[in-house]
Amino acid sequence: MKTDKLADTIIAVFEKDLLKIDYLKETRLSVHINPGAIVNVARFMQVHLRLRFIIASAMHTGKGIEILYHFSDDATGNIINVQVVLDENKPEIDSLTGLFTAANWIEREMYEILGINFRNHPNLEKLLSDGNWAEGVYPYRKSN
């Protein structure tokens, strides 16, 4: 499926939770959504569109803490980024571990480097620096 067709499908299903769509290039698409809808959107990506979860990237920007969930459509070579913005004072979002185990480690990593709380994560502990890093200090926050 071409990215514009994919975008139409996503617009039709998630009209309420959709904030913006960026058409980056022929095979790349960014979908900005309401953080509350992440589990439903990810489930739709995985079950209906049959996309593969690649990884998630989190970053601290002027808007707050942003997460991009990257999904790959291996049949066409498309990459769909599902983008959410969280409040930087209390970054919180639902965990995707209920949908696929692949989300487990990367959510722990994002919790560690940016202090994002993933609700319903089975084991939200530090992944990279357990016991070697100060509590409450997040190295990837820009204020540090």
Residues at the site binding another protein, with contacts judged by CB under 8 A = 24-25, 27-28, 30, 52-55, 57, 59, 68, 70, 72, 74-79, 81, 100-102, 104-106, 126-130, 132, 139-140
Smallest gap from Cβ 46 to another protein, in A, equals: 8
The span from the first CA to the last CA of the chain, in angstroms, equals 42
Instruction: Please tell me whether residue 20 adopts helix, strand or coil conformation.
Output: strand
Smallest gap from Cβ 23 to another protein, in A, equals: 13
Beta strands of 62-136 (E only): which ranges?
64-73, 78-86, 92-94, 117-119
Residue with tokens 């939770």, as numbered in its chain: 17
- The closest of 102, 58, 53, 108 to 84, measured between CA atoms, is 58
Smallest gap from Cβ 103 to another protein, in A, equals: 9
Q: Which is nearer to another protein, 49 or 55 (CB)?
A: 55
> How do the residues of the chain divide into helix, strand and coil, expressed in percent and rounded to 5?
25, 35, 40
Smallest gap from Cβ 16 to another protein, in A, equals: 25
Q: Which is nearer to another protein, 36 or 128 (CB)?
A: 128
HSE, side-chain direction, 13 A CA sphere, residue 15: 2
Smallest gap from Cβ 34 to another protein, in A, equals: 20
Q: Which is nearer to another protein, 93 or 108 (CB)?
A: 108
Q: Which is nearer to another protein, 15 or 143 (CB)?
A: 143
Q: Which is nearer to another protein, 1 or 24 (CB)?
A: 24
